[in-house]
């Protein structure tokens, strides 16, 4: 079974996909409705910013382009 997640919006009674996608007839779908609140978004941005800062601290090793290609 192949599973793919795609982002979409619900507007005026229709699901609008954010990217082009072909869905076969009678395909089974799993729909997850995400709450969209400013408080949740703010908490997420605060947490992700702190995690990003920890991951890329001033003591982080600088990798060259050659290191990345290995």
Domain ranges, ordered by start, for the chain:
8-57
Whether this model's pTM surpasses 0.75: no
DSSP tag of 35: P
Per DSSP, which regions of 1-70 are E strands?
Answer: 8-11, 14-17
pLDDT digits 0-9 by tens, 17-35: 999 999 999 999 888 887 7
pLDDT digits 0-9 by tens, 34-46: 777 677 777 777 8
For 16, phi then psi, to 5°, come to: -110, 115
3-state secondary structure 8-45: EEEECCEEEECCCCCCCCCCCCCCCCCCCCHHHHHHHH
Please provide the average confidence, as pLDDT, over all residues in the chain.
81
d(CA 15, CA 6) in angstroms, rounded, equals 11
């Amino acid at each position: 079974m192949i599973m793919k997640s795609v982002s979409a919006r619900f507007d005026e009674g229709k699901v609008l996909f954010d990217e082009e996608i072909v869905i076969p007839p009678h395909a089974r779908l799993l729909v997850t409705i995400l709450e969209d609140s400013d408080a949740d978004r703010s908490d997420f941005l605060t947490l992700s910013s702190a995690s990003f800062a920890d991951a890329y601290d001033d003591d982080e090793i600088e990798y060259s382009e050659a290191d990345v290609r290995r």
